[in-house]
Structure 1
Amino acid sequence: MEIVSELIKSYFLSFALILGIIIMLVENRKERPQGTDHIIVIVVILSVIVMNKAADDLFRWTLYDDTRNYNGDGAMTLMYIRSAMEHVLFPLIAYIELLLIVPLKKKYVFFLPELICMIAESVNLGKPGIIFSYNKYLGYEDGPLMLLPYFVGMIYLLLLMRYSILFIKEKEMSKGVTVIFIVFLTLAECYLEAAYIVVDVMDEIVALDVIIYYFYLVAIYQSEMKIKLRTSELELERSKRMLMLSQIQPHFMYNSLTSITYLCDKDASQAKRALIDFSKFLRKNLEAMTNKNLVPIKEELEHTKVYLSLEKIRFGDDLDIIFDVKDSDFMVPVLSVQPLVENAVKHGINRSESGCGTVCISTEETEVCHKVIIKDDGGGFEVESLNDLDEGHIGISNVRKRLFDECGGELIIKSAPNEGTECTILIPKENHYENSGN
Structure 2
Amino acid sequence: MQLISYLISYNFVSVALIIGIIVLLIENRKERPHGTEHIAVIVILLSIIVANAAIRELFLKKVYDADYDYRGDPAMYFMYFRTAVEHILFPMIAYIEILLITPNVKRYLLFIPEGIVIAAEIVNLFGPKIIFSYNSHLDYEDGIFFLAPYFAGMIYMLLLLRYSIRFFKSKDKTKGATVIFIVFLTILECYLEAAYIVVDLMDEIVALDVIVFYFYLISIYQREMEEKLRISQLELEKSRRVLTLSQIQPHFMYNSLTSIIYLCDKDTNKTKNALIDFSKYLRQNLDAMSRNGLVSIKEELEHTKIYLSLEKLRFDDDLNIEFDIRDEMFMLPVLSVQPMVENAVKHGINSSDSGCGTVRISTDETETHHRIIIKDDGAGFDTAELDSLDESHIGINNVRKRLRDECGGELIINSVPDEGTECVILIPKEKNDENSGN
TM class, shorter-length: 0.5 to 0.7
| 1:180 alignment partner in structure 2 | 40
| 1:241 alignment partner in structure 2 | 242
Contact 1:362–1:374 (8 Å) recurs in 2: yes
Aligned mates of 1:179, 1:367 — CA distance in 2: 55
| 2:232 alignment partner in structure 1 | 231
Aligned mates of 2:376, 2:50 — CA distance in 1: 73
Percent identity, aligned pairs only, is 51
Specify every segment of 5 or more residues in structure 1 that has no aligned partner in the other structure, as ranges.
Answer: 1-143
Q: Which amino acid aligns with 1:310?
A: L
Structure 1 residue 416, shift from structure 2 partner: 3.8
Kindly provide the CA deviation profile for residues 6-46 of structure 1, in whole angstroms up to 9, marking residues without a partner as x.
xxxxxxxxxxxxxxxxxxxxxxxxxxxxxxxxxxxxxxxxx
Aligned mates of 1:154, 1:390 — CA distance in 2: 58
| 1:295 alignment partner in structure 2 | 295
In the alignment, does 2:269 pair up with 1:269? yes
Aligned mates of 2:41, 2:9 — CA distance in 1: 29
Aligned mates of 1:432, 1:253 — CA distance in 2: 34
Aligned mates of 1:370, 1:407 — CA distance in 2: 12
Contact 1:304–1:341 (8 Å) recurs in 2: yes
Aligned mates of 1:383, 1:187 — CA distance in 2: 67
Kindly provide the CA deviation profile for residues 126-167 of structure 1, in whole angstroms up to 9, marking residues without a partner as x.
xxxxxxxxxxxxxxxxxx999988887666444323212233
| 2:397 alignment partner in structure 1 | 397
| 1:217 alignment partner in structure 2 | 218
Structure 1 residue 428, shift from structure 2 partner: 2.3
- TM-score between the two structures when normalised by the length of structure 1: 0.56
Task: Tell which deviates more after alignment, 234-243 or 248-257.
Answer: 234-243
Aligned mates of 1:207, 1:364 — CA distance in 2: 60
Kindly provide the CA deviation profile for residues 47-96 of structure 1, in whole angstroms up to 9, marking residues without a partner as x.
xxxxxxxxxxxxxxxxxxxxxxxxxxxxxxxxxxxxxxxxxxxxxxxxxx
Contact 2:407–2:432 (8 Å) recurs in 1: no
Contact 1:326–1:363 (8 Å) recurs in 2: yes
Corresponding residue SS for 1:159: helix
Kindly provide the CA deviation profile for residues 90-111 of structure 1, in whole angstroms up to 9, marking residues without a partner as x.
xxxxxxxxxxxxxxxxxxxxxx
Q: Which amino acid aligns with 2:30?
A: L
Structure 1 residue 260, shift from structure 2 partner: 1.8
Structure 1 residue 212, shift from structure 2 partner: 0.8
| 1:253 alignment partner in structure 2 | 253
Q: Which amino acid aligns with 2:23?
A: L
Q: 1:166 aligns with which of 15, 30, 47?
A: 30
Corresponding residue SS for 2:320: strand
Contact 1:407–1:427 (8 Å) recurs in 2: yes
CA shift in 2, pair 1:215/1:159, >3 Å: closer
Kindly provide the CA deviation profile for residues 322-356 of structure 1, in whole angstroms up to 9, marking residues without a partner as x.
21111101112221110110011111111122222
Aligned mates of 2:320, 2:51 — CA distance in 1: 84
Corresponding residue SS for 2:355: coil
| 1:386 alignment partner in structure 2 | 386
Aligned mates of 1:357, 1:350 — CA distance in 2: 8
- Structure with max Cα Rg: 2
Structure 1 residue 305, shift from structure 2 partner: 0.8
Q: Which amino acid aligns with 2:40?
A: I
Aligned mates of 1:183, 1:368 — CA distance in 2: 56
Kindly provide the CA deviation profile for residues 211-264 of structure 1, in whole angstroms up to 9, marking residues without a partner as x.
312431343134324423442343244233223333x22211111122122223
Contact 2:260–2:275 (8 Å) recurs in 1: yes
Structure 1 residue 191, shift from structure 2 partner: 7.2
Structure 1 residue 285, shift from structure 2 partner: 1.0
Structure 1 residue 319, shift from structure 2 partner: 1.7
Structure 1 residue 303, shift from structure 2 partner: 0.9
Corresponding residue SS for 2:300: helix
Q: Which amino acid aligns with 2:334?
A: V
Contact 1:383–1:415 (8 Å) recurs in 2: yes
Matches within 5 A, 1:78-93: none
Structure 1 residue 390, shift from structure 2 partner: 5.4
Kindly provide the CA deviation profile for residues 386-432 of structure 1, in whole angstroms up to 9, marking residues without a partner as x.
33345565512222232233333222222343342222222223547
Kindly provide the CA deviation profile for residues 269-319 of structure 1, in whole angstroms up to 9, marking residues without a partner as x.
322222221121111111112222422111110110111111122222222
What number of residue pairs does the alignment pair up? Answer: 288
Aligned mates of 1:158, 1:271 — CA distance in 2: 76
